[in-house]
A and B are shown apart, each in its own frame.
Chain A
């Protein structure tokens, strides 16, 4: 079935063997990467680290329910909410709001980024979540 479909497409000047090989190679590369990433950092994180302009802004516990206003150069640009081991950006002062549309992050290494404000929110694992008192 698939082979005859392919033959029709080749006849119709739509696709050729090199195309099939290239697409298969690209898809395999993507799939291998997905498997690698999922095996490598599949576990749920326990803390969240906020960085602004590459510098650490604060570290918070993910299990606690809290709303964190992020202050960049004198104004609150983003608001992050943590609850049930997940972090979600609920507010952003930028036109595209890509970070607000992003799903809640909860796995170690997952990152929410607000590019215009250079804010990065990263899920961390282990003990980092316990030092949140410092930044509160």
Chain B
């Protein structure tokens, strides 16, 4: 049982890493740093529903660290961790209430992600003017979050129901 779970989580981690890699290949630039689709969040959302909060948090943090070592640098890890942790807490809490679906949970997560990132960016460069971009980044976070939420929802509805 335990071995099977480890294998499952490893597979989800690999899937999340592939999502990050695919995303880095997509030319999805709008002239404002911080805007991205967040494909890996599909995997984290699915884990949140399929395995549980602890497992999803574990895979999310491992993905950020591995992704940073593979494709990024220390700053991209710091940046992603702030966004990833805030977004995860937000999504896990909303899911716990039991009244929301993936679409709105993901939308709130996307917003929280960008909020976390901008706080780290402002702290690193010691410039509060970065908050000039906050409303734009939050709005975009909601929209990309909705898109990711729809995708994750459709996958979840097609996954077999049995849990391990």
Contact = CB atoms under 8 A, between A and B. Distances in A.
Interface stretch (B6-14, B37-45, B55-63, B130-138): B130-138
Contacts of A115: 75, 79, 121, 124-125
B104 A101 contact: no
B79 to A, nearest CB: 7
Interface in A9-45: 13-16, 18-20, 22-23, 26-27, 29-34, 36-37, 41
A96 interface: yes
A113 interface: yes
Interface stretch (A65-73, A78-86, A118-126, A128-136): A118-126
Contacts, number: 114
A95 B138 contact: no
A46 B108 CA distance: 37
A54 interface: yes
A57 B155 CA distance: 51
A104 B150 CA distance: 34
Nearest to A37: B135
A109 B134 CA distance: 12
Contacts of A102: 31-33
B99 interface: yes
B142 A23 contact: yes
Contacts of A15: 101, 103-104
A31 B126 CA distance: 26
A136 to B, nearest CB: 23
A99 interface: yes
A122 B128 CA distance: 10
Contacts of B101: 13-16, 19
A41 B135 CA distance: 13
A51 interface: yes
A111 B33 contact: no
Given A15-B103, A19-B101, A113-B121, A33 B139 contact: yes
B69 interface: no
Interface of B: 29, 31-33, 72-73, 75-76, 79, 94, 99-101, 103-104, 107-108, 111, 121, 124-127, 129-130, 132-136, 138-139, 142, 146, 150, 153, 157
- Which 10 pairs between the two chains have the least Cβ-Cβ distance? A33-B135, A54-B126, A30-B139, A103-B31, A19-B104, A98-B33, A120-B125, A22-B104, A120-B127, A34-B135
